[in-house]
């Protein structure tokens, strides 16, 4: 009779330390993704402000063009405030809950390859 375990071969547990360390795991990867998203959002808001400024200058007194540009400027500024506010909120919650403002943004996870508390 053919064993199912013979088909796949022998499964060995990974070696100690092969998981990487705290500096090369999932949390730093996700942290880098979030930073990339925030940088892209900030650049988008910056370019949006520049385009709205050109639209404001090119409106030439047209009330609809001026209103459209002001709307775009306000939306960009509100977006920047939301980005900065999310960092501020994470720092405040990290300080209140964990005693460190960077606890949420740069968490320390103890595990294989890491240091213990």
Higher-confidence residue of 58 and 113: namely 58
Residue 96 covered by a domain: yes
Judge whether 83 and 42 are in contact, CB under 8 Å: yes
Residue 117 covered by a domain: no
Residue 50 covered by a domain: yes
Residue 20 has pLDDT above 70, yes or no: no
Q: Which domain holds residue 66?
A: 38-106
Residue 116 has pLDDT above 80, yes or no: no
> Per residue in 49-86, pLDDT tens?
999 999 989 988 888 989 999 999 999 999 999 988 98
Residue 73 covered by a domain: yes
Residue 89 covered by a domain: yes
Residue 18 has pLDDT above 50, yes or no: no
Residue 63 covered by a domain: yes
Note the pTM of the prediction, 2 decimals: 0.62
The count of structural domains within the chain is 1
Higher-confidence residue of 7 and 14: namely 7
Report the pLDDT value the prediction gives residue 12, as an integer from 0 to 100: 65
Residue 70 covered by a domain: yes
Residue 93 covered by a domain: yes
């Amino acid at each position: 009779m053919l064993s199912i375990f013979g088909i796949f071969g022998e499964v060995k547990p990974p070696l100690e330390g092969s998981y990487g360390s705290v500096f090369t795991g999932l949390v730093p990867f996700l942290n880098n993704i979030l930073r990339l998203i925030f940088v892209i959002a900030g650049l988008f808001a910056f370019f949006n402000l520049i385009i709205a400024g050109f639209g404001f200058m090119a409106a030439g007194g047209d009330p609809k063009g001026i209103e459209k540009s002001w709307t775009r400027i306000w939306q960009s500024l509100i977006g920047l405030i939301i980005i900065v506010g999310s960092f501020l909120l994470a720092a405040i919650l990290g300080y209140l809950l964990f005693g460190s403002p960077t606890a949420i943004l740069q968490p320390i996870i103890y595990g294989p390859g890491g240091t213990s508390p």
